[in-house]
Structure 1
Amino acid sequence: MTSTHVVPTDTTDRPRGSDFARLTKELKAAGLLNRRRGYYLLRMAVNALLLGAIAVTFVMVGDSWWQLVTAAVLAVASTQLAFIGHDAGHRQIFRSHRNNDIVGHLHGSLTGISYQWWVAKHNRHHANPNHEDHDPDIEIHALAFSRAQAARKRGLYSWITKHQAFLFFPLLLAEAAVLRISGLIALCRNELRNPWREAALQIVPMIAYLAAVFLVLSPAKAIVFIAVHQGLMGVYLGCSFAPNHKGMPIITEGQRLDHLHKQVLTSRNVTGGRWVDALLGGLNHQIEHHLYPHMPRPNLRHAQPLVENFCLRHGIPYSKTTLRHSYAQVLRHLHDAGSPLRHQPGDARSSTNTEARRLDPTGGLRCSFTHAAVQRLSKN
């Protein structure tokens, strides 16, 4: 069942600036902002054992097509490592920036994703989620998250955007490779500090990975192994990120929201219990994570009912749904955003779309109460 709590209560007569401070006080009193080093040490130990088991299996199985199963398991393990790197980037594990960065750089080198490049990009996303001009996560060449973005697409990107709802999951096969390449591009453009260290962390593990694969497997099997590993890792990463903000309100230039409303209104939680927490690395508690990025992952589950209750008491729309329904909402939103490219000017449906864009400049027809809340709050 989909459970989306949206309360279109007018909040213009209340001093909103103090809401976040009151919520923070409640969470601090519950001890939910305290570090959970034991949890992370155990999680990292389990991941290390899993990687070791995969390496031993890879060598023992040898030059066999059964290695594609190993590649699939390695994709899952690699994504779980990426979740730890994500948490380190948000300073969730240790109080010390240095210790978090050590963990983050190590996990970045194991996954092939530049930790330094990713942290800078991800911090921009957290500062301005779903903002058309400032969120790098909705500035993607091949996708459009609003009708205005779709109208600006040209050439091949225009064709992809036109069919983006159907191509979304296949496109995720390239996500891991895109993240790898983006880090290397940033390195080549001299955009990263300590370039020699970054080069070593990105290039040396990649050479070791390629050498191991081509030494154990024949060339054809090695290429397929890499494709399966990187492709499934990309799908897993993309399926973990997509439900969080896609299909939620998009903030346009000139709209101003305080931190509490900006983070809650643009985020969506995914329900489903502890197995979903493990599957998505805690990112299913996206509202709580965006409000308190430094909150340790295992505390998010306990913070969720407190945050939801606080939002309901203060008339702040709070959205949550099941994993299956979240993907359905994402695909519907992508289909709607690409509509200007599917209908030619003069088409009756195109006229309808033009009117819809005028009435809904955020470019979506979903979460209408939440969109209305963004519009109302940004005017105050």
Structure 2
Amino acid sequence: MLERRRATRGTAQQEFTSDFSELMAKVKEAGLLARRPGWYLTRCLLLVLSYAVAFSMLFLIGESWWQMLTAVVFALVFTQTAYVAHDAAHRQIFTNGKVGEWFSTITGNLLVGLSYGWWMKKHNALHHANPNKIGKDGDIAPGGIVFVAEDALKLTGFAKWVAARQGWLFFPILTLAGVQLHVHSVQSIIKGQSSIKRRWIEGIFIAIRLIGFPILAIWAAGPLIGSVFIVVQLALFGLYMGGSFAPNHKGQPLVPKDVNIDFLRRQTLMSRNISGGRPMGFLMGGLNYQIEHHLFPSMPSVNLHKVQPIVREYCREKDIKYTETTLLESYGIIVRYLNRVGIGKADPFDCPVTAQFRSR
């Protein structure tokens, strides 16, 4: 049983609140929350150039199996575009909210094929507010992979067999993540589950992307090669997207749904950074600085490497665990964790630790 200890308002809760306030003051003083329009303009221009190269390859190579190389390029470009849309959705690029919404709607729906409205609800409103919190964070809801031991114990038949081996199947399953993202986006638009009012515009944009791009591929490469091209592109897109987002939280502590933790510890203890500096930052769109991103979601991703030393030192002073591993180490943690969860042998936060960091 979890120890149900409640901190008195005005004492521990105020102390925890002041912890983040003190950190925020340090970050504001360093000027790291300021927008970086030049950086994002350069990034967008590079994306435009990348699309020009990718479409040139598609039409110049024609009906050839070398189009599989083009599929790799498109998977990379679509994922990098998703990173920019992600930053815009967090208001890292524009101070004007409406401009940011339109930018994210165009880049997300029309270019990547992901619903901006669905993403805002799933990622911003649920995941960022409650990372790794059971029953709140949609990223650990049961699906093709189960992340909570209790969910695994409910499975039967083939699903139970898969769950018991899901760690080893993790990367093959990720190849389906792109399809899943597209399907969830379309479903949310059809059912009106988008968090913005421009539902019909989202629908038109995403239809153009998800119908038009395969048609272009088949027209340029022929029915057989074009169809295989789409399958390869989707698989690699899912692998790249999933391989970038999964290391950030999977295998970190889970928070029981009835436990409340102050903001600083909630975002830090449930997140994991990936070492590798700015090159890894380019590869992962800044998501390798996950702790800093969760603490300051509106901070431009290019500034996250600058704020990292401040956050790390502050966590050391406050005796808050700060987790950072290599990318390969994180994948090893995820595989072992998923195999353990799949047979019902993973536990949430240790009860004493949960009680220690409960804010009310």
TM-score, scaled relative to structure 2: 0.92
Structure 1 letter corresponding to 2:202: E
- Tell me the equivalent position of 2:258: 254
**2: distance between equivalents of 1:338 and 1:204?**
39
**2: distance between equivalents of 1:256 and 1:56?**
52
| Cα shift at 1:378 | 2.3
- Tell me the equivalent position of 2:236: 232
- Tell me the equivalent position of 1:374: 354
* Residues 232-268 of structure 1, C-alpha deviations (whole Å, 9 max, x = no match): 0000000100110000000012211011110001000
CA 86–379 in structure 1, closer or farther in 2 if over 3 Å, else same: closer
**1: distance between equivalents of 2:325 and 2:181?**
28
* Residues 256-285 of structure 1, C-alpha deviations (whole Å, 9 max, x = no match): 101111000100000112110000000000
CA contact (8 A) 2:163 2:343 kept: no
Structure 1 letter corresponding to 2:348: T
| Cα shift at 1:134 | 0.4
| Cα shift at 1:13 | 10
Structure 2 letter corresponding to 1:298: V
Q: Describe how 1:300-311 pairs up with structure 2 within 5 A.
A: 300-311=304-315
**2: distance between equivalents of 1:323 and 1:338?**
22
| Cα shift at 1:65 | 0.4
Aligned partner (choices 208, 221, 236) of residue 217 of structure 1 = 221
**2: distance between equivalents of 1:187 and 1:237?**
21
- Tell me the equivalent position of 2:246: 242
SS at match of 1:212: helix
- Tell me the equivalent position of 1:344: none
Q: Identify the range of structure 1 (132-141 vs 98-107) with the bigger mean alpha-carbon deviation.
A: 98-107
| Cα shift at 1:319 | 0.7
- Tell me the equivalent position of 2:15: 15
- Tell me the equivalent position of 1:276: 280
CA contact (8 A) 2:132 2:270 kept: yes
Aligned partner (choices 296, 299, 309) of residue 300 of structure 2 = 296
Q: % of aligned pairs identical? A: 37
SS at match of 1:131: coil
**1: distance between equivalents of 2:127 and 2:359?**
23
TM-score, scaled relative to structure 1: 0.87
CA 65–172 in structure 1, closer or farther in 2 if over 3 Å, else same: same
**2: distance between equivalents of 1:54 and 1:231?**
17
SS at match of 2:168: helix
* Residues 94-151 of structure 1, C-alpha deviations (whole Å, 9 max, x = no match): 1111121122111112011111111111011000000111000000312222322211
Q: Describe how 1:171-210 pairs up with structure 2 within 5 A.
A: 171-192=173-194, 193-210=197-214
1:110 matched to 2:111? The reply is yes
CA 101–317 in structure 1, closer or farther in 2 if over 3 Å, else same: same
**2: distance between equivalents of 1:196 and 1:122?**
21
**2: distance between equivalents of 1:13 and 1:87?**
31
| Cα shift at 1:60 | 0.8
| Cα shift at 1:197 | 0.8
- Tell me the equivalent position of 2:94: 94
Structure 2 letter corresponding to 1:167: L
- Tell me the equivalent position of 1:46: 46
Question: Which blocks of at least 5 consecutive residues in structure 1 are unaligned?
Answer: 1-10, 341-352
Aligned length: 346
**1: distance between equivalents of 2:261 and 2:12?**
12
CA contact (8 A) 2:58 2:221 kept: no
- Tell me the equivalent position of 2:120: 119
CA contact (8 A) 1:12 1:377 kept: no
CA contact (8 A) 1:256 1:379 kept: yes
CA 285–110 in structure 1, closer or farther in 2 if over 3 Å, else same: same
**1: distance between equivalents of 2:41 and 2:156?**
48
Structure 1 letter corresponding to 2:158: L
| Cα shift at 1:372 | 5.3
**2: distance between equivalents of 1:30 and 1:143?**
41
- Tell me the equivalent position of 1:134: 136
- Tell me the equivalent position of 1:346: none
**1: distance between equivalents of 2:337 and 2:156?**
20
**2: distance between equivalents of 1:62 and 1:372?**
62
| Cα shift at 1:159 | 2.2
1:316 matched to 2:320? The reply is yes
CA contact (8 A) 2:214 2:227 kept: no
Q: Identify the range of structure 1 (145-154 vs 15-24) with the bigger mean alpha-carbon deviation.
A: 145-154
CA contact (8 A) 1:93 1:100 kept: yes
CA contact (8 A) 1:113 1:183 kept: yes
Question: Which blocks of at least 5 consecutive residues in structure 2 are unaligned?
Answer: 1-10
- Tell me the equivalent position of 1:264: 268
**1: distance between equivalents of 2:315 and 2:57?**
49
* Residues 194-219 of structure 1, C-alpha deviations (whole Å, 9 max, x = no match): 33211111101222212211111221
CA contact (8 A) 2:118 2:185 kept: yes
1:143 matched to 2:129? The reply is no
CA contact (8 A) 1:141 1:157 kept: no
**2: distance between equivalents of 1:90 and 1:315?**
29
CA contact (8 A) 2:153 2:343 kept: no
**2: distance between equivalents of 1:82 and 1:268?**
21
| Cα shift at 1:59 | 0.8
SS at match of 2:323: strand
CA 146–196 in structure 1, closer or farther in 2 if over 3 Å, else same: closer
